[in-house]
Amino acid sequence: MKTISKPLYVKLYDEILQNIKSKKYSCCDKLPSENIFAKEFGVNRHTVRQALSLLKDEGFIYTVKGKGNYISNIQIPYSISDKSSFSQKIMDLGYEPKTKLLSADIVKPSEYIAKQLGLNSKVNVIELKLLRYVNDLPIAVSFSYFDAFYYREIIDNLNMEPFSLYNILNKCYPEMEITKISTVFEAQNPTNEISDYLMMPTNTPVIVASTLSKNQYGEFVEYGSSYSRADAVKIKVDLV
């Protein structure tokens, strides 16, 4: 029986995948460029591109526009009862976190957001837009909403360095205990704005987590929604 040889791009795919599994390339590492792979394996760039496309389709790598290809599977634990900050979670995983404040505005909320916070839609809210990084790679864009009257001290403390919404809330309201009471997850294609911030194509889905929080007195504190790269992040939900 005649043996059918594997196509070159499949052989290259196997080689790169073996390097990923053997930890030659670790999570968040940037892969060599197409040119470097082509020279290393003695193939043309088209063959390299086919192999990388297959790895991307299977979720082993993801692309950051203008930067290159990176190893996937940053696993961020997500617990409804967890009160630790984003930065602490990422540091516990051995990565370097960073949060950038993109904008802070006082706005009229949509009817939906007002309803989530138990407010009249004519009442102003604080809207914070944040970009979160892991090892200098943009991983998630998040929006947080607070009653602009009751939580007005937030606005005066946004220059905290390094920026941490968790630490700002602790500083402004040290006696307040904030607990997530609900989180809804869904997959969506990102808007142009989100895809630009995350440097990803608009046809690659994001994981949207919409969370509502209350204080120890049962009063609404925050409604937030985060948009995380589904090709770079796995969110683990602890039910207990």
Low-confidence ranges of the chain (pLDDT < 70): 1-4, 27, 73-84, 232, 236-240
CATH topology of domain 74-238: Chorismate lyase (3.40.1410)
Statement: the pTM of the whole predicted model exceeds 0.75: yes
Per-residue confidence (pLDDT) for residue 84, from 0 to 100? 65
Query: What are the residue boundaries of the structural domains of the chain, listed by start?
Result: 8-71, 74-238
Q: Residues 6 or more apart from 80 whose CB is under 8 A from it?
A: 180, 182, 183, 237, 238, 239
Q: What are the tens digits of pLDDT across the range 164-185?
A: 999 999 999 999 999 989 989 9
Q: Is 214 exposed, middle or buried (0-12, 13-18, 19+ CB in 10 A)?
A: middle
Token pair for 64: 């950051």
**8-71 maps to CATH 2.60.40.10:** no
Using the 8-state DSSP alphabet, how is residue 49 labeled?
H
